[in-house]
Structure 1
Amino acid sequence: MNTVTIVDGRLVVEPHGLDKLWSFTRRLDIPLSEVKGATVDTGVRREPRGIRAPGLSIPGKYAGTFHRDGEKVFWNVGDPVRNIVIELDGTGRFDRLVLTVDDPTRTENAVNSALST
């Protein structure tokens, strides 16, 4: 699970509990200028992830950095349906973020609203 907030023009992602350990990430802090948009995606867990380096990959739980087809994607998912994909412009550390959040629709709306202001 993750908390996603918008603070001072930045997207902040904070994994909870052991997800910090498994994903090797305490916090992601990304300028909103690098964020293209967010989408609720209930089927993203079935998507191929690629090569994990570093992180955790066991059935039902994916956490960490995954490399596939030239993309670098941060995954932290553990729920079958409460997932969101945040597209980034690729100029920073990641091309996409795939996250489990408490309320995917609210998170999607918050991210996309912050981009339109």
Structure 2
Amino acid sequence: MTRITVHNDSLQIEIEGLHRLWAFKRRLTIPLAHLQQVSGNPEGIRRPPIGWSVGFWAPGLIVAGTFCSRGRREFWDIRHPTKAIIIDLVNDRYTRLVLEVDAPRFVVDMINEARRRTSSS
């Protein structure tokens, strides 16, 4: 599970609980300018890229960590796909983030509002 906040012009993503161990990460900081698209579309979640990875993947139970294949680097932290959001990125070390949050619709709206405020400044 992750906790997402917006601070200044960046997205702060805190990995919570034991997920830190499985994902080998405590936090991510992503500039809002790197966000291309944010959605709460669980249908878009299939599986992490098959290639090399640093993390843990038990199909049907949990996906947590960095997964890479064919030039894509994705960070995943989900147990319940229905609570997941997808963040597509540009000009960043990651191409996509797939994150479980408590209130997906609220978090997507919060991020998109922060992006609008930043782009209109």
Structure 2 matches for 1:10-25, cutoff 5 A? 10-25=10-25
Bigger radius of gyration among the two: 2
Q: Specify whether residues 78 and 19 from structure 1 end up closer, same or farther in structure 2 by C-alpha distance, changes over 3 A only.
A: same
Q: TM-score, normalised by structure 2?
A: 0.89
What is the CA RMSD across the aligned residues, in angstroms? 1.3
Structure 2 matches for 1:1-117, cutoff 5 A? 1-59=1-59, 60-89=61-90, 91-117=91-117
Report the Cα distance in structure 1 between the residues aligned to 2:68 and 2:101, rounded to whole angstroms: 22
Residue 37 of structure 1 contacts residue 111 of structure 1 at CA under 8 Å; is this kept in 2? no
Write the letter of the residue equivalent to 2:53: A
Residue 75 of structure 2 contacts residue 97 of structure 2 at CA under 8 Å; is this kept in 1? yes
Once the 2 structures are TM-superposed, how far is the Cα of residue 46 of structure 1 from its aligned partner? 2.5
Report the Cα distance in structure 2 between the residues aligned to 1:33 and 1:5, rounded to whole angstroms: 15
Once the 2 structures are TM-superposed, how far is the Cα of residue 4 of structure 1 from its aligned partner? 0.8
Report the Cα distance in structure 2 between the residues aligned to 1:48 and 1:75, rounded to whole angstroms: 7
Report the Cα distance in structure 1 between the residues aligned to 2:63 and 2:52, rounded to whole angstroms: 9
Report the Cα distance in structure 2 between the residues aligned to 1:15 and 1:48, rounded to whole angstroms: 18
Higher helix share: 2
Once the 2 structures are TM-superposed, how far is the Cα of residue 35 of structure 1 from its aligned partner? 1.1
Residue 44 of structure 1 contacts residue 83 of structure 1 at CA under 8 Å; is this kept in 2? no
Return structure 1 stretches of 4+ with deviation > 2 angstroms. 43-49
Residue 52 of structure 1 contacts residue 64 of structure 1 at CA under 8 Å; is this kept in 2? no
Q: Specify whether residues 48 and 65 from structure 1 end up closer, same or farther in structure 2 by C-alpha distance, changes over 3 A only.
A: closer
